């Protein structure tokens, strides 16, 4: 599952948890999202402690894309 797919599913499921849809819960939402990332992406993102959800999703997508590009480079 790509980060984009994971983010879309996460947002879809957040509608069933109203707690995550408040500004006060932004940090909790970020922590929950981060904990569901693949270990390789979580390792790259985790130290940044990003607590703005859109920023976290974008940085995670970039890491995912870079990770795939790196894997393809070393396959060739």
pLDDT digit string (tens) for 20-71? 888 889 999 999 999 999 999 999 998 889 999 999 999 999 999 999 888 8
**Higher pLDDT, residue 12 or 75:** 12
pLDDT of residue 19: 87
65 is a domain residue? yes
Q: Which domain holds residue 56?
A: 23-75
- CA torsion 49-44-53-12 (nearest 10°) is -140
Question: How far, in Å, CA of 64 to CA of 76, rounded?
Answer: 19
Radius of gyration of the chain, Cα coordinates, nearest whole angstrom: 13
Question: How far, in Å, CA of 12 to CA of 16, rounded?
Answer: 8
51 is a domain residue? yes
**Higher pLDDT, residue 10 or 46:** 10
17 is a domain residue? no
52 is a domain residue? yes
Q: How many domains does the chain have?
A: 1
58 is a domain residue? yes
Identify which of 44, 63, 48 has the alpha carbon closest to the alpha carbon of residue 6. Answer: 63
3 is a domain residue? no
pTM metric for this prediction: 0.87
6 is a domain residue? no
């Amino acid at each position: 599952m790509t980060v984009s797919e994971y983010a879309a599913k996460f947002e879809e499921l957040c509608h069933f948890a109203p707690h995550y849809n408040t500004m006060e819960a932004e940090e909790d939402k970020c922590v929950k999202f981060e904990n569901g990332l693949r270990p390789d992406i979580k390792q790259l993102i985790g130290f940044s402690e990003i607590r703005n959800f859109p920023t976290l999703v974008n940085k995670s997508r970039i890491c995912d894309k870079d990770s795939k590009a790196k894997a393809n480079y070393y396959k060739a």
